[in-house]
Amino acid sequence: MADVLPLVEARLRSALGEPDARAAVTFLGTDRIEVLRFHEDDIVRYATLGMSAHPMTDPTAMVADPIKGPRAELVLSVRAGLADTDKVLRALAVLAASPQVEGVVVAPGASLDVGEPLWPGAPFSSVLVAEPGGLVEDLELDEPMAPVHFLPLLPMTPNEAAWKRVHGAGALQERWLTNGTDLRDPSRTSVSLT
């Protein structure tokens, strides 16, 4: 089996251009997770690299399959220069390591929470995992490996996260769309939930 990460990095570069910074974080008992930063006009994008090295496995499975299973990386897009968003690197690495650490499968519609602001002063401590395929196309791998999905992360305020738990991801996304919410604004307030 080919090493997946060089292929993943090549796909990120072809979709987002050359990264202008990268950082690596290693947690005890996990593989190294890198976060790459890309600038495009007034948007800065952070993409994880390392989460897809191994397939995510169902925590209820008796034995983890080392080849089959979903693979993903995380992508966060925010407006540049409005907040100290570079501090999000550690939070993204924590989220990317969660399949290895906690045995969770990260999929669209899921909420991920880091328990503290995503960056200093951020009104968000959690994200909604959105559908892949828009910004970075899926990366097909040799059978029997599943493709790597590049999952966009949409920051949620605590009120939005609580509302999403009750009403679902689709309803929250519809609320954002209806209100014209700028999900890339790193200091936005909660959407109207009444």
Q: CA 114: distance to chain centroid?
A: 12
d(CA 119, CA 22): 17
User: According to the model, what pLDDT value does residue 2 have?
Assistant: 55
Give me the half-sphere count of Cα atoms (radius 13 Å) on the Cβ side of residue 31. 13
Between 2 and 15, residue with greater pLDDT: 15
The sign of the CA dihedral 119, 92, 5, 152 is negative
Residues of the chain above pLDDT 90, percent: 74
Q: Is 169 helix (H, G, I), strand (E, B) or coil?
A: helix
Query: 83 is written with which tokens?
Result: 């907040």
Q: What is the 3-state secondary structure (H, E, C) of 57-93?
A: CCCCCCCCCCCCCCEEEEEEEEECCCCCHHHHHHHHH
Q: CA 107: distance to chain centroid?
A: 10
Pairing state of beta strands 111-113 and 33-40? unpaired
pTM: 0.93
Per residue in 63-74, pLDDT tens? Answer: 666 688 899 999
| Mean pLDDT, the chain, integer | 91
d(CA 191, CA 176): 7
User: According to the model, what pLDDT value does residue 194 have?
Assistant: 80
pLDDT over 70 at 30, yes or no: yes
Asked if residue 110 lies in contact with residue 164, where contact means CB atoms within 8 angstroms, the answer is no
| Mean pLDDT computed over 68-87 | 92
Per residue in 13-25, pLDDT tens? Answer: 999 999 999 999 8
Banded pLDDT at 102 (limits 50, 70, 90): confident
User: According to the model, what pLDDT value does residue 63 have?
Assistant: 66
Between 59 and 149, residue with greater pLDDT: 149
User: According to the model, what pLDDT value does residue 138 have?
Assistant: 96
User: According to the model, what pLDDT value does residue 125 have?
Assistant: 95
Between 102 and 107, residue with greater pLDDT: 107
pLDDT over 80 at 60, yes or no: no
pLDDT over 50 at 1, yes or no: no
Pairing state of beta strands 148-156 and 71-79? parallel
Query: Which residues are CB-contacts of 46 (< 8 A; sequence separation ≥ 6)?
Result: 35, 36, 37, 38, 75, 76, 85, 88, 89, 92
